[in-house]
Amino acid sequence: MASSTRDNGPNHEDEIRMWREGDGWVITDVETGVTTQGDTRQEALEMLDEAVALHKGEIGESIETPEEEREALRDLDIDPAEVEAAREENDELPDFMQ
């Protein structure tokens, strides 16, 4: 992975790091820590743009109620009952999903 360090240099917003991994590309937005991947560099960049926008709340709809959450999970082919069971065990979900 290529990386750089700046001492007293200009502050660059929207800094990214990209590296080849296997047959694809992995890319990270340095500010947010959001990471995606793609088969091509262009695809990885497009995926990152969307992921960062979702992370920052610039696109997408927020989920306000438990029913909206269950519907969103079903749309992703995730069984809401499995998520609920994992929540009860508490340590199987990332903090943002608890």
Q: Which H helix or E strand runs over 32?
A: none
Q: Is residue 34 part of a domain?
A: yes
Written as tens digits, the pLDDT of the chain (98 aa) is: 555 444 545 666 779 999 999 999 999 999 999 999 999 999 999 999 999 988 888 887 777 888 888 898 888 888 999 888 877 776 655 555 55
27 and 51 belong to one structural domain? yes
Per the structure, the count of domains in the chain is 2
CB 32, CB 56: distance < 8 Å: yes
Question: Does the model's pTM come out above 0.85?
Answer: no
Per the structure, the complete domain to which residue 47 belongs is given by 16-55
Cα–chain center distance at 94: 13
Q: Is residue 7 part of a domain?
A: no
74 and 48 belong to one structural domain? no
Return the beta strands (E) in 14-66 as ranges: 16-21, 24-29, 35-38
47 and 72 belong to one structural domain? no
21 and 43 belong to one structural domain? yes
